[in-house]
């Protein structure tokens, strides 16, 4: 089917960029400033949602190419996988906007105008990444995301925040240079470098060249995807306000990294070429090691946000593993886990922020008994934790089931054992928090209650959605079907498909 030409992909990017300018101009009027945030968030989600029937009908929606020089263009194209990521990022921005207002006001934070403006630019960059039609366009938005996130990481302006922000920039900007080298080199081999299901790189290039390219690409996107040992910036960035942590872990930054990994594997190289190189097993093994080591590392963290950070490092590599296994179910599971992890992890960080604003406690040992005083917050935390562990009727089970099924389809049952072991480790580092919160005895007899409605309502919404998508994965805009159809298109583009279709 022919691609549909539309301005909507461009407008979906520009709406929050325009809002960033209006937010800055409205800095002395907080209510108006936050109104622009909500208007832009709703408008962006509406524009992205309006693309669902168009992409479902034609398979691709694109904007007019902007030719820079011959063979080099900025180009937006919405395919099934990009639409999946854009729907997640734009939907979560709505609840994060509500939460941010409650958090920043409740914590009496300074520099709120810059915070909301930077947040808007970050979400614009995330949508630009999702809708990029080629490597050059992807790179530009990828680097915009890096730079726009930095002011958020250092928001508190403390020595610790500055150090965390410096580490974030060193990792991500260095990775960006690796990505740039890979993109320039790829353009020399395949001019235009357009994303294509099944990949566009040909095997006529020497394997030595292809291995160097692959290493540069994985370094470029693997830092944001937090593949070990490229993960060090992520725990350090936990000094940022909790809504920023939610942005890093669920809405934009690390999701952009895993999205980029899937793009590189299945839209640049393609599974056939990676298998010929032997790179699929190498990448899958790196992901498996990250899944297990990060889970073990989380067990040793006593700070709630840092434990959640290492949990994220582990969970992101589920997506990388599914991409590398490259059976239809594994790829569909990887794509859907971007959604599943987004809703579950943002729930957990929202809970951590609500706890901090209300009690100023983040040490896990200090949370004893709080579950009885803040039942909504800790009830939502329990659902998010169980979901990440892969408990049935929660959305995490759906994605992990497909990843396990995909590992069997691909003939790599060892990775099924990795997934099961990781699930047990998830229980091990989450269960003590939940048990202590509901059944532990607090050391101090201070009575707390729920945080403000602008804090507990967003976390309740994302927790409920985690249940809904676990029971009915195609509820709403049918994200599960989008993942399966995108995976099927990738595998058919590679010239084959493993047995098994969408349930």
Ordered DSSP codes for 306-333: HHHHHHHHHHHHHHHHHHHH-SHHHHHH
Please tell me the number of Cα atoms within 13 Å of 154 on its side-chain side: 15
Residue found by looking up tokens 């582990």 in the block: 314
The residue-averaged pLDDT of 314-328 equals 95
Highest mean pLDDT of the ranges 56-65, 105-114, 133-142: 133-142
Residue ranges in 237-270 assigned as alpha helix (H):
242-246, 253-263
Q: Are strands 66-69 and 72-74 parallel, antiparallel or unpaired?
A: antiparallel
Surface-to-core class of residue 185, CB atoms within 10 Å of its CB (0-12 exposed, 13-18 middle, 19+ buried): middle
Give the range among 10-14, 45-49, 184-188 with minimum mean pLDDT. 184-188
CA 502/CA 401 separation, integer angstroms: 12
pLDDT band (50, 70, 90) for residue 498: very low
The sign of the CA dihedral 475, 480, 483, 485 is negative
- Could you tell me what percent of the chain has a pLDDT over 90? 72
DSSP 3: P
- CA 203 from centroid of its chain's CA atoms: 31
The answer to whether the CB of 134 falls within 8 A of the CB of 79 is no
Sheet holding 4-5, edge to edge: 4-5, 61-62, 77-78
pLDDT at 1: 53
> Which range (195-204, 349-358, 475-484) has the least confidence?
195-204
Q: What confidence tier does 327 reach under pLDDT thresholds 50, 70, 90? A: very high
The residues near 278 (Cβ < 8 Å, ≥ 6 apart) are none
Burial class, 59, CB count within 10 angstroms (exposed 0-12 / middle 13-18 / buried 19+): middle
- Average confidence score pLDDT of the chain: 91
pLDDT in tens, 32-53: 999 999 999 999 999 999 999 9
Question: Could you read off the pLDDT of 393-430 as tens digits, one per residue?
Answer: 999 999 999 999 999 999 999 999 999 999 999 999 99
Phi, psi torsion values for 6, nearest 5 degrees: -150, 150
Using CA atoms, how far apart are residues 222 and 215, in angstroms rounded to an integer?
A: 10
- Residues 12-27: what's their mean pLDDT? 94
User: Can you tell me the distance from the alpha carbon of 6 to that of 262, in angstroms, rounded to the nearest whole number?
Assistant: 25
User: And the tokens for 101?
Assistant: 């207002």
Average pLDDT in the 247-268 region? 88
């Amino acid at each position: 089917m022919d691609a549909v030409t539309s301005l909507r992909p461009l407008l979906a990017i520009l709406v929050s960029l325009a809002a960033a300018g209006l937010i800055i101009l409205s800095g002395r009027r907080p209510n108006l400033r936050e109104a622009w945030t909500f208007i832009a968030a709703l408008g962006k989600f509406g524009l992205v949602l309006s693309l669902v029937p168009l992409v479902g009908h034609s398979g691709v929606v694109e904007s007019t190419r902007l030719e820079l020089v011959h063979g080099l263009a900025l180009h937006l194209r919405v395919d099934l996988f990009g639409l999946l990521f854009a729907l997640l990022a734009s939907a979560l921005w709505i609840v994060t906007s509500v939460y941010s207002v409650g958090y920043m006001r409740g914590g009496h934070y300074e520099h709120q105008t810059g915070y909301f403006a930077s947040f808007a630019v970050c979400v614009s960059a995330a949508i630009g990444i999702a809708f990029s039609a080629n490597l050059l366009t992807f790179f530009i938005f990828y680097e915009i995301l890096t730079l726009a996130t930095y002011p958020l990481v250092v928001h508190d302006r403390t020595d610790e925040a500055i150090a965390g922000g410096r580490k974030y920039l060193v990792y991500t900007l260095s990775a960006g240079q690796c990505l740039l080298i890979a993109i320039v080199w790829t353009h020399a081999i395949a001019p235009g470098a357009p994303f294509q299901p099944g990949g566009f790189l040909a095997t006529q290039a020497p394997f030595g060249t292809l291995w160097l390219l692959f290493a540069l690409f994985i370094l470029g996107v693997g830092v944001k995807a937090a593949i070990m040992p490229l993960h060090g910036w992520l725990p350090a960035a936990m000094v940022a306000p909790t809504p920023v942590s939610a942005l890093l872990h669920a809405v934009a930054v690390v999701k952009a990294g895993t999205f980029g990994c899937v793009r590189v594997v299945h839209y640049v190289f393609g599974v056939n070429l990676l298998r010929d190189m032997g790179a699929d097993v190498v990448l899958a093994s790196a992901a498996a090691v990250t899944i297990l080591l990060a889970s073990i590392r989380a067990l040793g963290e006593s700070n709630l946000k840092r434990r959640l950070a290492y949990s994220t490092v582990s969970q992101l590599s589920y997506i990388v593993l599914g991409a590398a296994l490259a059976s239809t179910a594994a790829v569909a599971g990887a794509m859907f886990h971007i959604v599943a992890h987004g809703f579950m992890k943002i729930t957990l960080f929202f809970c951590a922020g609500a706890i901090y604003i209300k009690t100023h406690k983040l040490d896990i040992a200090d949370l004893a008994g709080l579950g009885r005083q803040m039942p909504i917050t800790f009830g939502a935390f329990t659902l998010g934790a169980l979901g990440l562990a892969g408990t049935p009727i929660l959305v995490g089970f759906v994605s992990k089931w497909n990843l396990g099924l995909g590992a069997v389809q691909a003939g790599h049952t060892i990775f099924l054992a990795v997934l099961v072991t990781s699930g047990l480790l998830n229980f091990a580092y989450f269960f003590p928090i939940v048990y202590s919160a509901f059944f532990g005895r607090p050391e101090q007899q201070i009575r707390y209650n729920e945080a403000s409605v602008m804090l507990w309502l967003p976390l309740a919404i994302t927790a409920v959605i985690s249940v809904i998508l676990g029971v009915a994965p195609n509820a709403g805009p049918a994200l599960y079907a989008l993942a399966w159809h995108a995976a099927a298109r990738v595998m058919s583009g590679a010239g084959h498909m493993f047995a098994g279709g969408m349930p």
